[in-house]
Structures are given as structure tokens and as C-alpha cells.
Structure 1
Amino acid sequence: MQVRIVDGKGKRLQVIKGIEVHSSGGVPPQWAALTEFLPHQGKILDYGSWQGVAALWLKASRDARVDFAHYSSALLARAGENASASQLTLEPEPMFPLQGRWDTVVMAAPAQSEALVMLAGQAASCLNPGGQLLLVAASPRAEGLRTLFSDINPVAVGKGWAILRCTKPRGEAAALPWRKFPVALRGFQLELKSLPGIFSPGGLDSGTELMLQEAEIPQGGRVLDLGCGYGVVGIVASKLGAGEVVYLDEDLVALTACRENIAAHGLQGEVIHSHLPWAAKGKFDCILVNPPYHADYGIPRTFLEFAARRLNPGGWVYVVVKKPLWYRNKLRSLFGGFRSIERNGYHLLSSQYQPPGGLSG
């Protein structure tokens, strides 16, 4: 049996405890080391290993009772693609909060400590008696985990990583750690909720505030909040007269907050869990985007090319960024031009779709 990781054009073969693993640049050392500690029996949940490699290795080595789940649509898709390439049966499942009963949970520790405590606490509540959480983290430090587990042992440590075995959960699952904050915009006073680990969990960021202050929402129009987070953009668009709002994000944690906020304000809207904008069907009169700044331009390129194909004639796309040069060139190539507003280090760029040979208002 073998595992194939479809992560690039390179070719590298590793043999990890008897299993051939093919990938582009090799399996990260912490995930290769983890295989030493994966159990030989019991019910196992892989909650977000790199490329789904833990679940795939378990399937290839011993056809274990293992499931793969996560909150990231992109990671779920990659794990599914790798399972198909490896000819292994694995059906990745979107999951947040964690649920079910497991003997072992494998988890990649999120960078934010509050998010780690939230997810590790959920894992603790899902463990069967005698169960374990195998946590792949950036260091052997266990801040926050001592309140969740009686025993925390670093079973392997490398440069920039550690594997912690956490056992003997201390108590029942805690409620989701909601954070509430006020937002005042365009004459509306809103109270919103967020969760750890999502974008700007403590309040409205300056870029989104600029976009919502300046965007012209079409009355009765169809609006897409692309990369919606906890939903503030779409909620304000609804308050300003949008006829229909669609919310799309790849993060199920963010969408959990988004659904909570939509319901709390007595609104409706389709909520889509996907990393691909094409999952949103139909055309739109307005598309609003606050793209990730830390990534390369692959995601913004997909978003803007989607907008060029899915805007109705006369429709507008709004995108707020810190470094506008690439976006200006891309909008000019797709739409023929753009408008620009700069404030507090952010640039709001907007373009209108005008069909070839047609006129728009």
C-alpha cells in the first residue's frame, strides 16, 4: 500500500514505517514522526493533519477505523484528493464543533492560543474513557491545556515542533467561547459575535469598515459576501436594502459565528462552506471581498476572475487591500478600470462590469 500527496509537481518518495509516501517536497518531519505514536486499534479522528496524511497512513498501513474531519474546506478537499490518488477510502467531513466519541483524536494545533484551547477542549469532551489527544504543536509548552487534561506529555520534540500526548480529561465540554462586540455603521447599531481563530475576532477591522462606509449596496439587489467571516459585511448589506445576500467562507468556525449573527438580527441568507467562489450559484449585482493579505495572489485572482464572470451588467465588485498595485492591474485587465479610495493605510478598489458592446448605469 502507498500514500500519494498531490501537493505539487515535484517527486519525492519516503518510506515511513513501511508505507511508501509520494509527495512533492516531502512529509513535514513532525507528521512523519507522528506515525510512531498512532494507535493500532480503536476509533480514531484525524482533525486536520497535514494533507490528511495521518488518516491516509493509518488506512494504508492497517485499514484502521479512522475518519478525517476539519473546519477548513480547502484542507478537506486536499485530503479527499489525496485519498483518491492513493486509492484509499476516506470521506472527509466538515466538522465544528467536534462531535462523536473517539479513542484517539489527532489534531494540528492552531497558532492562536484561544483557538487551541477551544478545539482541544472539544476533543477532550469527545474522548472515550482511556482515550488520548495527540496534538502536533509548534512547541512543547502546554499553556491552557492544563485546565483540560491531567496528563500532558511531550512524546517527540524537533526543531520548531512537538507532539504532545494529552490524557485524562478533567471535565465536560465547555460552551463555545463567544466574544461579543458592538459595531456602529451607516446609522446602524449592531452587536456581533465571534469565535477564536477567525479573522479580526475582537471587532471590526479598519479595512472592512472602509468598505462598508463607502460601498453602494443596490436596493433589492443580489449581494455576495465573499470570504464572509462572521458575516458583518453581508449583515450591513441586508440592513442597507439588499434583496438577497449570500455568505461564503472556507472556515466552518467563521460560518458558525456568521449563522449566529444572521439569526440574531432577524435576517436570512444562504450560507456556503467552500474555498471556491464557484460554489455560489447564479449572478450578483454586488460582490464584496476582503481577501487574505498573508497569502499569495492565488486566492484573490480566483475571487476577482469569478467576479468578472458572475456580475450582472452594471454590477460592482469591491475589494479592500493594503497593497493595491497587483489588484489595480488585475481589475484593469478584467474590467477596464477601477475606482480607488485610500484611508488609514487601506485601499478600497471597485470596478463595474460592463458587457462588451453594452452600456451600464
Structure 2
Amino acid sequence: MDPRSEVVLRQQDYLNGQVLLINAPNDQLAKNLPSQVPASVWTWNYADHQAFLNVGINSHFSVEFPQASFDQVIIFVPKSKELLNYILHVVTSYLTQGQSVFLVGEKKGGVERAAKQLQQYGKTLKLDSARHCQLWQMIIEKTGQLKPLEHWIKSYSIQVGQDQLEITALPGVFSQDHLDVGTAVLLPYLNQIKSGKIADFGCGAGVISAYLSKLNPNQQIFALDVDAFALRSTELTFQQNGLNLTQLHLQPVTGFADAPKELDTIVSNPPFHQGIQTNYHASEALCQLAKSHLNSSGELWIVANRFLNYPPLIEQSFGQCTVKADQQGFKVLYACAK
């Protein structure tokens, strides 16, 4: 069991009534709590959501607070400070004064910094420090009116050749307030992509999907991501730029294996972080499985850090891998399913 969950179980006497676990790790915490403390999960990670459902845990996959009544919430500290601000605002908009909010996280994950974010809503108390984690309690003293999701958007403009796009991103989404270098290196090559059925794996704020739509409004674009905030951000980016929403297919995935088949092109700035951890599983699976999701002449376009050894994985599947660019620490990799 995750050490953060172990710390929660150590202090389970503080829990009572309907409890909502927010951003909980994929483990059995909800089933190990006392029977008089029924627990549900609110997660924006689709892989975790499916895992919870598979073992009979009540799980909500959304960017918004579940439409149900809860007596207490336990927040597992997210990587993003802005995302925690959003969660705390939402929680204190739904709960009432006197109710408890618990915050748990790893010391290396910034739990002490996160605990300071509680203070604007009520009195805080550190309940436990164990397993390199901390558990805090906050009794709500201040509640507020729920602000719309759009209040939490950050926007920025990007220029690619003659095309300009306004990118809109919600808290916690990769490169929320600026264009990352890898995607900037990849974008000028996307005008080489033929029209057809295209998957943007790890769509983030929708930069790649939106630019593909701008280049060709007839393309069918499947925006794939594990993160509900990313999928909603991509939709908001399309709306912000007046792009054709009928060509956009938003699809939550547990990994690349969930991607559509018979694609003409797969484009990706693949993720290799999960929370504060480095995790190459999703991007390596993309390199290994991409060909089986492509048509006979389908193409794979990837941008990746120069130090990541993706070309051999791609070559094993496709028989070849071409380096289209090598600049600013990133490589644009190309392969064709022949």
C-alpha cells in the first residue's frame, strides 16, 4: 500500500461519515477504512479510475467535484500548486464550516508547502509524520461561492509560421502557462502530415491537436490523454480558436493500448512523468505499439528529449526510425509503417 495511505490508516479514528478521497493513489485504501467510513474517490487520472472501478471502489473521473454529499475529504497533494488551489477552493465551496479537510503527502512531494495553502480556509494541525509523509487536518472556517472552471484557465499565444493560436490550459496540465521546448521543435514539421485520421497521444492543453486542425479542418483528430484536465483544456483551446469541434474526438485512455486502430498518423510529445515520479512506461508502449494502430502506410511523429533512447524501440517495431531534427536538446523522430 502507498505510504500516504498507510499514514491515513494510522489516524483513521479522525474519520467519520461519507469520506471523499481526492487524487488518491491506486491502492486499496478505500476498502481498508472502517465499515462506518464509506469512501469514494475523485480522480482525474483515467488509469486509476478504471483500476478503482475494477475492484469495486466508487470512483468519479472528472475535473469537477462529484455531485454527492460528503462529510469529510482527504486530499492527496498533487504536484501542481495551482491544482491544489483549485481543489481547495472547490472543496470549501461544497463543504460547510466545521467540517474537516485532511491533506496527506510525501515530504519530497511538498506536503509542508501544501499545508500552508490550507491556512486561508481554517485552522490547521499536523496529525502525523511517518513513512516520509505528513498528514494534516484543517477545520473549515471560511467557505465561498464556487467560481466557474474558466476562472482557473491560463492562456498564452503561440506563433507557428503564419499561424497564431491561443492556448488555454487548466491547473496541473503540462506546460500550463508557456509552450514547452519539445512541442515548439515538433510543430514546424506537422505540415508534412497527410490528411486523415490522426491521434495526438498525451494531448495536454491541445497545442498539437489545435495546430493540426488549423492546418487542415478536414482531419479527424483523436486527442488522447489519461488526465481529465488535459482533455478539457484541449476542448477549451479548440473553442478559444474557433476550431471545428466536430473533427475533435476527446478520448480518455489508460495508456496507448487504448488508442484507436487504423490511424493514418500518430503524433506525440509523449509524457514521461507521473506526479513527481519519472515513468517511461506510457512513452515506451507508444514506441512499441504504434505500428499496430496504424494503416499500412501510416506515420509516427514523436518529439523526445535527446537522452531518451526511443529510436531503437521504434526500429524494433517499424524496421527504421528517421531523426528529422535534433535541436535544443530534443529530437523529432519519424517512422512509416510500410
Deviation at 1:134, TM superposition (A): 1.1
- Asked if the contact 2:154–2:177 (Cα under 8 Å) also holds between the matched residues in 1, the reply is yes
Change (3 A) 1:190 1:325: closer
Distance 1:55 1:228 in 2: 30
Distance 1:210 1:29 in 2: 39
Q: Which runs of 5+ in 2 are unaligned?
A: none
Give the match's secondary structure for 2:182: helix
Q: Does 1:299 align with 2:308?
A: no
Distance 1:76 1:347 in 2: 33
Work out which of the two has the higher radius of gyration on C-alpha atoms and give 1 or 2: 1
CA deviation map 1:39-58 (0-9, x unaligned) = 56422111222224331212
CA deviation map 1:324-357 (0-9, x unaligned) = 5621111111111121110111101110110xxx
- Asked if the contact 1:46–1:106 (Cα under 8 Å) also holds between the matched residues in 2, the reply is yes
Give the match's secondary structure for 2:136: strand
Give the match's secondary structure for 2:309: helix
Superposition pairs of residues 169-318 of structure 1, within 5 angstroms: 169-172=141-144, 173-176=146-149, 177-241=152-216, 243-266=219-242, 267-268=244-245, 269-294=248-273, 295-318=278-301
Partner of 1:11: none
Partner of 1:46: 21
CA deviation map 1:258-301 (0-9, x unaligned) = 11112222322110112223333332111111112343432122
- The total of aligned residue pairs comes to 319
- Asked if the contact 2:3–2:131 (Cα under 8 Å) also holds between the matched residues in 1, the reply is no
Distance 1:66 1:235 in 2: 39
Give the match's secondary structure for 1:199: coil
Partner of 1:154: 126
Q: Does 1:328 align with 2:311?
A: yes
Deviation at 1:307, TM superposition (A): 1.5
Partner of 2:88: 120
Q: Which runs of 5+ in 1 are unaligned?
A: 1-26, 84-88, 355-361
Superposition pairs of residues 15-94 of structure 1, within 5 angstroms: 27-35=1-9, 36-37=11-12, 41-58=16-33, 61-62=34-35, 64-81=37-54, 83=55, 89-94=56-61
Q: Does 1:97 align with 2:73?
A: no
Deviation at 1:113, TM superposition (A): 1.7
Distance 1:307 1:169 in 2: 51
Change (3 A) 1:193 1:40: closer
Distance 1:291 1:113 in 2: 23
Distance 2:137 2:39 in 1: 18
Distance 2:57 2:265 in 1: 38
CA deviation map 1:145-194 (0-9, x unaligned) = 222x1211111123632111112241323344211100111311111111
Deviation at 1:118, TM superposition (A): 1.4
Partner of 1:3: none
- Percent identical among aligned pairs is 21
Give the match's secondary structure for 1:62: coil
- Asked if the contact 1:140–1:164 (Cα under 8 Å) also holds between the matched residues in 2, the reply is no
Partner of 1:337: 320
Code of the aligned partner of 2:45: S
Code of the aligned partner of 1:313: S
Change (3 A) 1:162 1:132: same
- Asked if the contact 2:287–2:314 (Cα under 8 Å) also holds between the matched residues in 1, the reply is yes
TM superposition outliers: structure 1 runs of 4+ over 6 Å: none
Mean CA deviation greater in 343-352 or 315-324: 315-324
Give the match's secondary structure for 2:30: helix
Give the match's secondary structure for 2:125: strand
Partner of 1:350: 334
RMSD, matched Cα? 2.1
- Asked if the contact 1:283–1:311 (Cα under 8 Å) also holds between the matched residues in 2, the reply is yes
When the two structures are superposed, what TM-score results if normalisation uses the length of structure 2? 0.87
Distance 1:313 1:77 in 2: 31
Q: Does 1:166 align with 2:138?
A: yes
